[in-house]
Amino acid sequence: MPTKPGPLFLLASEPNIELRRTAARKRTYIAYALAILILILVQLVRAIYLLQDGSHDHPLSATAPPHATDSLYKCRLLQPIARDPSPEFFSRAHSDRYVPGTTPTVIVNATIWTGRADGREILNADVLLDGGLIKKIGSVGRFAAEEYRGASRVDAQGKWVTPGIIDMHSHLGVDSVPKSRGSNDGNSRKGPILPWLRALDALNTHDDSYRLSASGGVTTALVIPGSANAIGGQGVVIKLRPPTDRSPTGMLLENPYETNTTKYDPSKHFRFRQMKHACGENSDRVYSGTRMDTAWAFREAYEKARQIKEAQDDYCVKAMAGQWSGLGSFPEDLHWEALVDVLRGRVKVHTHCYETVDLDDLVRISNEFKFEIAAFHHAHETYLVPDTLKAAYGKPPAAALFATHARFKRESYRGSQFAPRILADAGIKVVLKSDHPVTDSRFLLYEAQLAYYYGLPHNLALSAVTSTPATVLGLDHRVGFIKEGYDADIVLWDSHPLALGATPEQVWIDGVPQVAHPHTVQKPAAYQRLPKTPNFDKETQDALKYEGLPPLSPKAVTHTVVFTNASSVFLRDSQSTTGLKQVASGSANTSDTLSIVAKRGKVVCMGTMASPCVRSALAAEQITLVDLDGGSLAPGLTTFGSPLGLEEIRSEPTTKDGTVLDLLTDRVPKVVGGEGAIIRAEDGLQFGTRDALEAYRTGVTTGIVAPQTTGFLSGVSVAFSLGAEHKLEDGAVLQASGAVHVAIHPRGVPSVSTQIAALRNLLLHDAEGELGQWFDKVQKGDVPLVVDVESADIIATLIRLKSEVEHAHGTRLKLTLFGAHEAHLLAADIRAADIGVILAPARSFPESWETHRILPGPPLTEKSAVRVLLEHGVTVGLGIRVADEAMNTRFDVAWAALEANDTISKEQALALVSTNIEQLLGVERDEHGGDMVATVGGDLAEYSKVVAVISPTRGVVDFL
């Protein structure tokens, strides 16, 4: 029988038993843990398989809720995927926007700017367009295959071909043209944060601007809501070709809302959406807030989006693991889903933002919530703070700019024409855009030309309206470049794209020609070359040195100045039909080069350097020599039509004269003169405004301005010097009163017929007070009557009224039409009635119904309105509506002359903005009374630089 264990044995064995039990429990726990882990892994792998496979017919566990399949699919869509299209996209046989039946096109003998190699690649080659795509680039021999024998053949004759222009900031179709209450869909006033709104839902396919803008080479546009809201909604990228289905959806370049997965499967790749943000004055004004309120509105909205995003991420981790118990439905909110996608990097954010304070706010918010800003738009102060842009989350935003449009509100006051160059030098991507209809997107290339003129390198200037916006929009896989396999969006230009006035000879969108019967202008061979531009290094440096407000006042001298090496001189001549004549011409840097001597602000003689007058001037005790390097001397230009001289900042009432009370709608106080009152613009003149000085530095030396009105009667205009410091300076006020101004437009109340009745009464009967005195002068033909009018129907009524008044009084009225978009329809009648016309703007735009019958000019029509009126013998001037446009007056003249196809002489062109305007507005000068402008490197109608103004009325030469 076994021996019973002793005490020592018991003491030794009990711990061993306990150890064995502990080890067994551990093994059990490990086994359970492994089993649970394996189960989780199986469920996770199964969920991932379901998500990757994408089908909805796999069986789920009995505990899975009914919405499990749909929720898993939504989770799958959140997984990181490539933004680029599938590989099959680049081997597509035809575009998804291909119009069946479109004839292939071969463009031969072209100079091709491809957009590649940082905008520096230029090919001399042919291009084949077929199936809505760029199929081949190279020698025509490659296109000799049988299938292309029926192709349309276009001989470019060595002219320039570029990618289609891309407008990255447009309101085409939502702020429709012509404007109407029934199609004013640019802004919602339902709250400052509206990310759920979509521009697509308001896109008007009947906007007149599609055809016009396409004729200017614009093939693609980002259409976004306006800037009334901090977050205004989602934009859409459209092609400007009329859709075959006539629908807004048919205009989309890539439909991000497509629900047919055979066309677009968002689980394989995604299409960027575009979102409009805005900060600064607009949203603050609409919602009576401050910048602090707007910044909080952004943060509050993004915090909501962040919470939803994190809830979705947490949900999907559990759903993919099969942990459905208590999970509920997929967390989503249609109001916020687009903003959540911003945080996921799937929406491009475009922010309307001008000032440094606002730029800095958005940069901080982008870092707080970790989303990228694609671009700051308008962005007038970005050039002052490039490092702020570089501090944004992810990549630095691009800057989408106007070339010269600035100072229209306080936050744009420091805008500079040198901003594109400065930003490019700082490594910031530069985009030039239209903000259509603020500026006409038909002439978006003009913005690139202006930016190039002021220093932006040529490759970046062209890229700024093609490849750079394509890249910023996330669409550089199909537009913005000329590459095989890309969309067939191509423009053939009549001259180098950066040459002033470059106009398409044809535009193809998706391989479809957009101009049925293009009218072309033959330009000199020199226009096929990249134009030379002046040096603006000092001005660029000053823009930074003075934080956007460099000194603009000229430096006046009274001593002798000799201008050498001039190629041409134009002087006033009362005997000439234009009031101007070219009195001398020479060749730069040759023995017959011209020199001009000015003393005490007057040109006293001209000749070669060896002429007695010049030799005598060179011996003067004090003299300044100015080498014009083939430049010119010409009369200073005159501007009219904008409030220039009556305002500093358009949107700031305390910086402007304001608007007059209207006799037809307002009660004019007796102290003003009651019903006999008429206002004189001279009393509200402001000198030294930045717009005036900027214009002066570009050769515009005289301003004519009438009192500003939103009604019928404006008042009496004044002519003044843009270079004067104040009203009391000699020569500051050139003519205190010139013409009487009224406006007749359809605006509901009072009716057009009521306005005509008022004018008839003033012209046929005696009125009281000073108003009566001025209209007595009008009746006698002593002063002009200027009528701001657009409609041909109203113009016809004015022609008949003029005849009626002249018959009644036995006098000849001096009548001038201003604006006059539709005057070309009555050109013969206007000439027969001896009526003058000041067109404003110089290039017609059908902004309102009364202007919708414009004559657009090449390539849509053979002739422009300017040409038609001049051919009928009408005295024509060119005006503006916005003050900052005065600085580009010389380019408006050059454009008008180029469009006229050699039917307008240089003297006629210069007269459009000098002697003609003065004549039409009753400003009298003698032959020696006008300013002269000196330019370096060409004349006023070229890419020259204005360096001095010779002012006889002020007795000085102003150096600029």
**pTM, two decimal places:** 0.92
pLDDT at 29: 61
Of 63, 36, 48, 94, the residue nearest 512 (C-alpha): 94
Say yes or no to pLDDT of 53 above 50.
no
pLDDT at 1: 42
555-557 vs 133-138, strand pairing mode: unpaired
The count of other CB atoms within 10 Å of the CB of residue 314 is 12
Say yes or no to pLDDT of 27 above 90.
no
Lateral strand order in the sheet of 375-378:
165-170, 218-223, 231-239, 273-278, 347-353, 375-378, 398-401, 430-432
pLDDT at 32: 62
Confidence of residue 48 (pLDDT cuts 50, 70, 90): very low
Over residues 761-767, the mean pLDDT reads 96
Please give the residue that has the higher pLDDT: either 462 or 52.
Answer: 462
Cβ–Cβ < 8 Å for 160, 490: no
Helix then strand then coil, % of the chain, to nearest 5: 35, 20, 45
CA distance 237 to 475: 10
pLDDT at 620: 86
Confidence of residue 26 (pLDDT cuts 50, 70, 90): low
CA distance 666 to 413: 33
pLDDT at 262: 79
Torsion angle, alpha carbons of 311, 316, 321, 327, to 10: 50
The answer to which of 258-272, 534-548, 658-672 has the lowest mean pLDDT is 258-272
The tokens for 14 are 């009990």
CA distance 162 to 160: 7
pLDDT at 9: 32
CB within 8 A of 587, min separation 6: which ones? 567, 593
CA 838 to chain CA centroid, Å, is 24
pLDDT at 745: 98
Over residues 208-237, the mean pLDDT reads 97
Q: How many CA atoms lie within 13 A of 310 on its CB side?
A: 7
Over residues 228-233, the mean pLDDT reads 97
Task: Dump pLDDT digits (tens) for 282-329.
Answer: 999 999 999 999 999 999 999 999 999 999 999 999 999 999 999 999
CA distance 618 to 626: 12
Of 231, 210, 206, the residue nearest 301 (C-alpha): 231
CA distance 607 to 584: 9
The tokens for 623 are 């003299």
Please give the residue that has the higher pLDDT: either 559 or 143.
Answer: 559
Lateral strand order in the sheet of 740-743:
713-716, 740-743, 785-789, 815-819, 835-839, 876-878
pLDDT at 800: 98
Say yes or no to pLDDT of 22 above 60.
no
Integer angstrom CA distances of residue 933 from 554, 569, 702, 950: 13, 10, 12, 6
The count of other CB atoms within 10 Å of the CB of residue 130 is 23
Buried residues in 80-95 as b, exposed as e (16+ CB within 10 A): eeeeebeeeeeebebb
Confidence of residue 86 (pLDDT cuts 50, 70, 90): confident
Name the CA radius of gyration of the chain, rounded.
34
Over residues 895-911, the mean pLDDT reads 94
133-138 vs 122-130, strand pairing mode: antiparallel
Q: How many CA atoms lie within 13 A of 718 on its CB side?
A: 24
CB within 8 A of 233, min separation 6: which ones? 188, 194, 195, 196, 197, 198, 199, 224, 225, 275, 276
Say yes or no to pLDDT of 897 above 90.
yes
Confidence of residue 354 (pLDDT cuts 50, 70, 90): very high
Phi, psi of 661 (to 5 degrees): -70, 145
pLDDT at 60: 74
Residue type, 289: G
CA distance 921 to 857: 26
490-493 vs 504-509, strand pairing mode: antiparallel
Averaged pLDDT of the chain: 92
Confidence of residue 90 (pLDDT cuts 50, 70, 90): confident
